[in-house]
Amino acid sequence: MAGLVCSKSGMEQVFVENEVQQVKLLDSVNDDHGGVIVELSEAMDLKVFALMLKASIALWRSQGKRGVWIKIPIELINLAEAAVKEGFWFHHAEPKYLMLAFWIPEGAHTLPANASHCVSIVAFVMNNKREVLVVQEKCGIFRGTGIWKFPTGGVDEGEDICAGAIREVKEETAIDTEFVEVLAFWQSHKSFFEKSNLHFVCMLRPLSFDIQKQESEIEDAQWMPWDDYIAQPFVQKHELSRQLVDIYRAKEDETYFGFPPVPMESKHPGQKSYLYFNDRDLKSSKV
């Protein structure tokens, strides 16, 4: 057990096993919510780190700090053991680091949870012959079923929905497209390791037409007559698919309007963010 005595020049005097020891503190920066962030970068003995952590927590507690975040790069992952013994828990992991969290005040913590949702797209691409771009997958739940489906895929970290849809279509079929709008979206749960998923149905306009399927993931790809796609037993039986077909039909009849991306200024200099909304109806309401 470590207890605070005093602090001076990045060092801490603490009680350790009934003795006063001078211990170096962990380097930290304040976050925006009354807590601190520690990013470890140098290798150290596990016992030394444990003592530094105890001393630092004692200081942060005396300062009224709340949450503590420790980012441990994968090459220093052995240090996680000492943090867990001190009461830290795993918050999330990325390919090159582990993030641990700790709550100093008494009572339940108010730290934000790890990301709860993945984001994916469904790409609806129709040419001027009323043919839709469809694929058969080599893996996943549709493997070997003979079902023709629209290109789908996950949106990458830091990638806009509109850019992710264009990329996925290009990767799976080599077709270049222009993003038109988000037609609809739905939410599913326990999709991947207990995480939820947000699926955005996107309409894109083809700019090229010669298909080259992605060998690693796609069994086959084609331009399929719209009526043939609708006639598939899976589409006829699956409630979500039937509802989406109704949306596509209404869009074709110009009685349904989705949500095109409207660029907005981002809080990051030199970058744009997008607000997806029905700007057509908004403009008409102002006339």
Residues classed as catalytic: 171
Rg (CA), the chain: 27
User: Is the torsion defined by CA of 135, 141, 145, 149 positive or negative?
Assistant: negative
Q: Locate tokens 């441990």: which residue?
A: 72
3-state SS, residue 51:
helix
Q: In 3D, which of 17, 25, 91, 89 has the Cα closest to residue 54?
A: 25
Token pair of 163, please? 């850019």
- In single-letter form, the type of residue at position 13 comes to Q
Please spell the DSSP secondary structure of 32-48, one letter per residue.
Answer: TTS-EEEE--S---HHH
Question: Residue 70 burial (CB < 10 Å; 0-12/13-18/19+)?
Answer: buried
- C-alpha 236/C-alpha 232 separation (Å) is 6
**Cα distances (angstroms) measured from residue 32 to each of 29, 80, 89, 243, 282:** 10, 24, 21, 44, 36
Token pair of 277, please? 């909304």
Contact call for residues 272 and 265 (beta carbons, < 8 A) = yes
Q: Locate tokens 């105890």: which residue?
A: 54
- C-alpha 195/C-alpha 70 separation (Å) is 23
